[in-house]
Amino acid sequence: MKVRLATSRGFCFGVEDAIELAEAAVEEHGPGRVVALGPVIHNKQVVNELEEAGLNQSGDLETIDPSKTVLIRSHGAPPETFQRADERGLRIIDATCVLVKRAQNVVKQLHEEGYHVVMIGDPDHPEVRGVIGYAPNVTVIDEETNLERALPYRERIGIVAQTTHSPEHVADMIAKILKRPYREVKIVNTLCLEVTRRQEAAMELAREVDVMFVLGGLHSANTRELARLCQEAGCDTYHLETWKQFEPSMVEGKQVAGVTAGASTPESVIAQFVGELEAL
Ligand code: SF4
């Protein structure tokens, strides 16, 4: 089968940095001495490898032994988490991506400037849960939200978005917000260019191939967005974690397959998938 790869795909610098920090922390403190607060990134294979190297994981800060070191993942965490870790005497290694950090600072600054902050994002995503902790009463909206009910009336609102959303989606949501009678709306672009580049490359490829494979964690927001955009571009699209989920019926009657991968998908997963697909 002929296989074409998206020109921009796979690991972003934020994910690479987080993995490097996690590996370095385990090397410095020893296996079993560092605990990640939630999965370091949304990719099972990478998380398993880090666990095998000696990185522990916990979803609850309160249960972590104070003699251990806590690793804050690339998605970041709200200020209370840092404060609580400090109170419990835990040493912290902060692997929050610099672009997520920037979104946190923007939210804080908008609030200090007197704007009511509105974040376009998935309210259940760890990045969003962390970012909204940097100002009180942030309103989170997504495509499911009833804006009439959710958006409060304030003179001035400041808008940010989850870093992994597509510019098209954010523009649509902003257009809906602007239909309401706000006197002043300040929009700060918090989208990640690494993600935007992968989205553009995926959509371009999806228009030229018979079937698209988007590789990455099923919980990875940026990978899911890639799959949604490829589907929207009119291409049959499959979001798979690895070659293990592949089924021959997916390429029945197809000549050319396109492959892309989310920002937390390692090159080894992409290379194995492409090798197997080309061998068909
Ligand atoms: S996708 Fe962008 S915001 Fe998210 S970790 Fe990577 S570089 Fe950072």
What is the reported pLDDT for 154? 87
Q: What is the mean pLDDT of residues 7-34?
A: 96
**For the domain that residue 230 is a member of, what is the CATH number?**
3.40.1010.20
Number of domains in the chain: 3
Ligand 1 centroid to Cα of residue 75, in Å, is 8
CATH, residue 75: 3.40.50.11270
Can you give the residue range of the structural domain that contains 249?
Answer: 2-11+193-279
| Mean pLDDT for all residues in the chain | 96
Q: What are phi and psi of 2, to 5 degrees?
A: -80, 130
pLDDT tens digits, 111-122: 999 999 999 999
Q: Can you tell me which atom of ligand 1 is nearest the CA of 12?
A: 6
- Quick: pLDDT tens for 148-200: 899 988 899 999 999 999 999 999 999 999 998 899 999 999 999 999 999 99
Averaged pLDDT, 49-58:
96
Same-domain pairing of 177 and 197:
no
Residue 171: predicted pLDDT: 97
Q: Which of 78, 96, 114 finishes a domain? A: 96
Domain boundary, last residue among 149, 164, 187: 187
Residues 155 and 221 in one domain: no
Ligand 1: residue whose CA is nearest its atom 7: 14
* For the chain, percent of residues with pLDDT exceeding 90: 92
Are 148 and 226 members of one domain?
A: no
Q: Which of 15, 102, 106, 220 for a ligand 1 pocket mutation test, highest count of atoms within 8 Å of Cβ?
A: 15
Which atom belonging to ligand 1 lies closest to the Cα atom of 222? 1
Q: Is 280 exposed, middle or buried (0-12, 13-18, 19+ CB in 10 A)?
A: exposed
Same domain for 232 and 242, yes or no, is yes
Q: CB-side exposure of 133: number of CA atoms within 13 Å?
A: 17
Asked if residue 240 has pLDDT above 90, the reply is yes
Rounded average pLDDT over 32-47: 93
Residues taking part in catalysis:
127
